[in-house]
């Protein structure tokens, strides 16, 4: 197995070149060379290797999808889209290019176009999880709460997955049904006790509903993590929970920690000031 860790790039390149000499028609070798070029920050070299890989790959090879993803990530979105459309025409029963086009159009905010690809996938495979989930995501993006609820209720009735339950909770919140959102978030965490987005959402809901103790109990362990994408929102919800619980000193300590990480964020400084006012209100 070729080792692509940063400290072994020289060895990986040597092994790939050896593999290329032994089997010059292996598309996987060229995919490996493309990945190596990416690690070397050489997009031109990666593109050339990907093109060679696609030229050697079978029609239904994932190599074509990988190359389209590379193109989309490097600004060649139109070329990526066209190659996938061509692949759909050549292999209409092959779903990966439709999945790619569906995801690409959603990322671009082209929801009508995305819906067309969703319909095409579901016409071929009615129970396709990714297409059913994307249908709900389109409804969420369009701020259509009722349709989003219908989409994700349909999905969760067929698939017991924590992500689906979390998205159903988002739909319930958009539709104004807090009780069902709480239930769906709880169900999500029953399936995956470490589903962080659900912990953040459930804690925020509990805090807003006047149950700061539940929020504090759930979020305090998350502060031990090193990922700021988790610790920052957790700290903000915790600080507000402490204020509701009339523990401003603990809220101030959290805001000070945030201020040290984000000294130029006026919102953090403002919220800390509010905590000080509460702490020393005559």
Rounded mean pLDDT for each run of 10 residues along the chain, 282 residues in total:
54 68 74 83 90 91 94 95 97 97 97 98 97 98 98 98 98 98 98 97 96 96 92 94 92 88 77 74 54
Identify whether the C-beta of residue 193 lies closer than 8 Å to the C-beta of residue 174. no
- Token pair of 123 as six digits: 């016409």
What does each C-alpha distance from 36 to 15, 50, 75 come to in angstroms? Answer: 11, 11, 19
Whole-angstrom distance, CA of residue 105 vs CA of residue 114: 5
What does each C-alpha distance from 4 to 15, 23, 36, 174, 181 come to in angstroms? Answer: 10, 20, 7, 44, 43
- Token pair of 106 as six digits: 């959603």
Listed in sequence order, the residues at least 6 apart from 189 whose beta carbon sits closer than 8 Å to its beta carbon are 162, 195, 198, 199, 202
- Token pair of 10 as six digits: 């020289």
Whole-angstrom distance, CA of residue 71 vs CA of residue 180: 41
Tokens 């470490």 belong to residue: 194
What's residue 2's pLDDT?
47
How does 116-129 read in b/e, with b if 16+ C-beta sit within 10 Å?
Answer: ebbebbeeeeeebe
What's residue 259's pLDDT?
83
What's residue 24's pLDDT?
67
What's residue 164's pLDDT?
98
What's residue 16's pLDDT?
66
User: How many Cβ atoms are within 10 Å of 243's Cβ, its own excluded?
Assistant: 22
Model-level pTM? 0.84
């Amino acid at each position: 197995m070729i080792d692509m860790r940063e400290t072994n790039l020289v060895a990986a390149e040597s092994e790939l070149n050896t593999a290329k000499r032994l089997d010059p028609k292996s598309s996987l070798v060229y995919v490996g060379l493309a990945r190596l070029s990416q690690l070397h920050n050489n997009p031109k070299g990666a593109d050339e290797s990907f093109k060679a890989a696609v030229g050697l790959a079978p029609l239904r090879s994932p190599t074509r999808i990988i190359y389209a993803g590379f193109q989309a990530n490097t600004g060649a979105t139109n070329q990526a889209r066209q190659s996938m459309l061509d692949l759909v025409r050549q292999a209409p029963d092959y779903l990966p290019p439709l999945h790619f086009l569906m995801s690409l159009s959603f990322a671009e905010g082209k929801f009508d176009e995305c819906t067309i690809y969703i319909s095409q996938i579901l016409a071929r495979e009615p129970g396709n999880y990714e297409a059913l989930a994307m249908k709900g995501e389109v409804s969420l993006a369009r701020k259509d709460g009722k349709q989003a609820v219908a989409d994700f209720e349909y999905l969760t009735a067929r698939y017991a997955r924590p992500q689906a339950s979390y998205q159903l909770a988002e739909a319930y919140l958009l539709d104004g049904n807090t009780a069902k959102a709480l239930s769906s978030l709880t169900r999500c965490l029953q399936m995956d006790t470490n589903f962080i987005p659900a912990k953040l959402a459930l804690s925020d809901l509990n805090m807003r509903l006047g149950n700061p103790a539940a929020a504090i109990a759930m979020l305090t362990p998350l502060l031990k993590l090193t990922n700021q994408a988790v610790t920052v929102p957790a700290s903000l919800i915790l600080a507000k929970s402490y204020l509701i619980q009339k523990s401003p000193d603990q809220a101030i300590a959290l805001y000070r920690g945030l201020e040290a990480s984000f000294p130029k964020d006026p919102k953090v400084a403002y919220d800390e000031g509010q905590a000080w006012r509460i702490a020393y209100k005559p």
